[in-house]
Structure 1
Amino acid sequence: MQKINVLGALLVLGLMVQCKGDKKSVNKVESNAPITEVTESVVDTTPIIIEKPENIKVPDGMVWIPGGEFIQGAVPQDKMAMDHEKPAHKVKVDGFFMDVTEVTNAQFAKFVKETGYVTVAERAIDWEEMKTQVPEGTPKPHDSILQPGSLTFKKTKTSVPNLYDFSQWWNWTIGANWKQPNGPGSTIKGKDNEPVVQVAYEDALAYCEWAGRRLPTEAEWERAARGNKSESIYFWGDDDSILSQKANTWEGEFPVTNNKADGYEQRAKVKSYPPNDFGLYDMAGNVWEWTSDWYNTNYYNELGAVNGPVVNPQGASTPYNPNMPYAKEKVMRGGSFLCNASYCASYRISSRMASSLDSSLEHLGFRTVATVDMLTAN
């Protein structure tokens, strides 16, 4: 089935939703948000898997994340936390294996070579399908625009007074894809160890199937990112003055000037910064990472209403975002090289954002996980 980049199409058609008012109200829960049936994943008295079973070998390139109970969501002292990171709630997850790094260009290239897979951003656009994902009556763009491509970032020449209109720094770029992540003329040659980007959700799933892995749930991702820092804003603690030593982010005036205090302006090689407690690299900054959870603005409120910890939550059963009503979105985690304190500060552990299933961007990638059940079934 052909897919299109919904976010890119919305940009092209001038239909971007521009959020107004206070930043924390952007993801405020709507009273008409659909119920997500969170109770399906609770009241489970089965003991969780904490330690790695002795008979299972750690897969190459992965590390064991011990199971346990933790508080998911914003910590009390986090002044940057957004409404959709609250309320914090108790969660239990089984132990699992996770990739030490984000999936790299070299790893994704091997997958493509062995399977012949063609990513969403490389496929022809089907207007009939696009019409189902934009407001009724939207006129068809000219054929010169309806060409395979993806979203690329552009700096602005002057300060931007309205940071809620991100069409100011995102371009729909024909020819942008995982091999040309910044558009025609760009390349991944010599960048084998950088994270692969311009991968839509479907692309990430295809890689997972080939690798015998899956995407992490949002709860698994946060458990892994938090490590032993149960009450910290960042994976290293609460001190934001050492951000440039810990993560690849935007330092300077966004989106005008990046002073590269952390050493990079765009994507960095994996393992360029210190790992967290569990030995995972780039769980803050570099590129966003797909998770398997639907994004639903009501979900955390439902989790917060549950008595006792939620066990192995799988996310909302339905997507819902009043700011992007025509898009079905998944949660992405970790922030990227474009995150800045003035804009999103999404290098915080609890930070979460959403992206439509068929959106691919130059700052969005993924990493995979494997569970005990998956490995013993092989």
Structure 2
Amino acid sequence: MMKFKALVFLGLAVLVAGCGLLGKGGKAKKTSSTTGWEYNNPDNGGFQADGDYNQVTGPGLTFIEGGTFTMGRVEQDVMYDWNNMPRRVTVASFYMDETEVSNLDYREFIFWLGRVYPENPEKVQMALPDTLVWRKELGYNDPYIQNYFRHPAYSDYPVVGVSWLQADAYCKWRTDRVNEKILVDRGILQHDNTQGGQNVYTTDSYLAGLYQGTEGEDPMQDAAGNARELKWEDGVLLPSYRLPTEAEWEYAAYGLIGNADGELLTERKLYPWNGSYLRDDSKKNRGDLMANFVRGRGDMMGMAGSLNDNADITAPVNSYNPNDYGLYCMAGNVNEWVADVYRPLNQQDVEEFQPFRGNVFTQYRRDADGNLIRNEYGELVQDTIADYRNFEDGDYRSQIIEGPDWQAMQDQLSTEDMYLKSEDAGQFASLISDNVRVYKGGSWKDRAYWLIPGTRRYLEQDQATNDIGFRCAMTRVGSPQGF
């Protein structure tokens, strides 16, 4: 009987393999099921196909298996903002940094900019963190202004003083450096340590054929064995590093994969760990705080000899216990920028799959001859063709200019809760605009309420503080977990 079962299993395995249903362990198809022509054969045109792709995990990332969850408020709305009503959504699988981006990581970014753009110091200036965020009128924080970002004692601490715009620029830079190294390691491209000016490697410019680099010893080949340019269809390059969406960040922070029994959620979380307590209940570390936050007024770290979270300001990015996805400091330490534009009523106009507010669709700019245009930094110039940050939310204008509109709206602008005096004379700006971004997670100077992943706050995208950092994410291409 056992022998018969083994034969049946072997027969099913052969059948599955013959039907081309094997996952990442299967082989690429050799013949088109549509036309019958053989793939990768120069005698019939040389169309190349590779059906055995499995995404490589990029440096610093960990895999986050997607799924459905209830996004939004899980605790009393103590701020009475009513801006985060619960709603069930689905998040696709993706990748996320295990830790927040550290000072060392960000210093590498600054160093590279200074080395590659020596004639453009403004490029470095735009990227530098604002170290003056540490300055307080009644506090002696001057040592952090000088030391926090640059001193090696803080290399493994999360970078702060970075705006949303700077975090977004870092993600783009990281994408290009990771993909450039992939090409160099595979012998497709030779590393050029002298690149600069307009001829700087970016993934977009390379795929467009504009990067004038030196080919390596093992270039891509066509079906006939001749060298050819690499294409996105080859699957060699990774998708872009980027800021996670609010839904992705919140989903990853909870790590509900550890609380599931089949499709049954056995325990919904308040924090990234189980239970409603802020201290570790394990036998080994019983009583230790689970995150870096403010325990009470004036208590940033506890009493000498028994520091409650062992951190006066921030802590190293791999401190405390990771959640069930292996992510560190998803509560406390520093708040983290996410990609979304803030709106108080997101739950009323939300997509059930991959919810995100902030889509701005672009296309590459071309000259009169149809050639792509690069700026002075070698980046392809893009023009906006559609902007959905304001999609059906009633806030179609975030700024009112002095004139007829101003006179007509005077009676409606009497409350300070809705409008803030602009820096420009004669203008008022809404507190909520297209340039306001969400940040989440709580920080070293926040109370425990903000450690709950469902809570949310917002700040202008060009502003920075001493308690907001970020981490990167990457899209997962293909199946959620592999077939």
Instruction: Name the structure 2 match of 1:281.
Output: 328
- Segments of 5+ residues of structure 1 without an aligned counterpart are 1-50, 124-147, 157-168, 304-308
Q: 1:80 to 1:190 in 2, by over 3 A?
A: same
Counterpart-to-counterpart distance in 2, 1:265 and 1:92 = 38
- The aligned residue for residue 462 of structure 2 is 358
User: In structure 1, what is the equivalent of residue 439 of structure 2?
Assistant: 332
2:352 matched to 1:310?
yes
3-state DSSP of counterpart to 1:314 = coil
Distance in 1 (CA, whole Å) between partners of 2:297 and 2:462 is 30
Partner residue, 1:23? none
- Counterpart of 1:118 in structure 2 is 124
- Cα distance in 1, alignment partners of residues 137 and 277 from structure 2: 24
Instruction: State the alpha-carbon separation in 2 of the partners of residues 249 and 226 from structure 1.
Output: 18
State the Cα distance separating 1:298 from its structure 2 match: 2.1
Measured in 1, the distance between the counterparts of 2:152 and 2:80 equals: 38
Asked whether the 8 Å contact 1:252–1:258 carries over to 2, the reply is: no
SS, match of residue 97 in structure 1: strand
Q: How far apart, CA to CA, are the structure 2 residues paired with 1:280 and 1:362?
A: 22
In the alignment, residue 64 of structure 1 is paired with which amino acid? F
* Residues 1:108 and 1:121: Cα distance change in structure 2 (over 3 Å): closer
Deviates more, 1:109-118 or 1:358-367: 109-118
Measured against aligned partners, the alpha-carbon deviations of 1:203-239 in whole angstroms (never above 9, x if no partner) come to: 1111100111100000010111011156211111232
Unaligned runs of 5+ in 2: 1-23, 25-51, 115-122, 176-240, 260-264, 281-287, 359-388, 399-416, 421-429, 479-483
Partners in 2 of 1:291 and 1:201 — Cα distance?
8
- Tell me the number of residue pairs that the alignment of Structure 1 and Structure 2 aligns: 269
Q: In the alignment, which residue of structure 2 is the partner of 1:62?
A: 61
Match of 1:205 among 157, 165, 168: 168
Amino acid of the structure 2 residue aligned with 1:233: L
Alpha-carbon distance change, 223 to 298 in structure 1, aligned in 2, over 3 angstroms: same
Over alpha carbons, which structure has the higher Rg?
A: 2
What is residue 269 of structure 1 aligned with on the other side? 316
What residue in structure 1 maps to residue 180 of structure 2?
A: none
1:8-47 counterparts in 2 under 5 A? none
> 2:134, 2:145 within 8 Å by CA — same for their partners in 1?
yes
Separation of aligned partners in 2, 1:91 and 1:118: 40
Contact 1:201 1:290 in 2 (8 A): yes
- Pairing of 1:113-262 with structure 2 (within 5 A): 113-116=111-114, 117-120=123-126, 150-152=132-134, 154=136, 182-184=144-146, 187-212=150-175, 213-228=241-256, 231-242=268-279, 245-254=289-298, 258-259=301-302, 260-262=307-309
- CA deviation digits over 1:93-130, x for unaligned, max 9? 1100100000111111111111235254859xxxxxxx
Question: One-letter code of the match for 1:338?
Answer: K
Q: CA deviation at 1:183?
A: 2.2
TM-score, length of structure 1 as denominator length: 0.63
State whether structure 2 residue 473 is matched by structure 1 residue 369: yes
| Equivalent position SS for 2:451 | coil
Q: Name the TM-score, length of structure 2 as normaliser.
A: 0.50
Give yes or no for the alignment of 1:322 onto 2:414.
no
Match for 2:418: what amino acid? P
**Matched-pair contact (CA < 8 Å) for 1:121–1:149:** no
Letter in 1 for 2:315: A
Quick one: structure 1 residues 265 and 84, their matched pair in 2 at CA, closer, same or farther if it must change by over 3 Å? Answer: farther
Name the CA distance, whole Å, in 1 between partners of 2:131 and 2:108. Answer: 22
Q: CA RMSD in A?
A: 3.2
Determine if the alignment matches structure 1 residue 87 to structure 2 residue 50: no
Percent of residue pairs identical:
30
* One-letter amino acid of the structure 1 residue matched with residue 155 of structure 2: D
- Structure 1 residue identity aligned to 2:357: G
In 1, the alpha carbon distance for the partners of 2:128 and 2:325 equals 36
Deviation at 1:202, TM superposition (A): 1.4
State the shift of 1:57 in Å: 1.8
- Offset of residue 315 of structure 1: 1.8
In 2, Cα distance between equivalents of 1:224 and 1:335: 15
Inter-partner Cα distance in structure 1 for 2:83 and 2:291: 21
Change (3 A) 1:257 1:67: closer
Contact in 1 for aligned 2:330/2:441 (Cα 8 Å): yes
Judged with a 3 Å threshold, the aligned counterparts in structure 2 of structure 1 residues 280 and 368 are, in CA distance, closer, same or farther, namely same
Q: What is the DSSP-based 3-state SS (H/G/I as helix, E as strand, rest coil) of the residue aligned with 1:245?
A: coil
Amino acid in the other structure paired with 1:114: W
For residues 153 and 348 of structure 1, the distance between their equivalents in structure 2, rounded to whole angstroms, comes to 28
Which amino acid in the other structure matches residue 464 of structure 2?
S
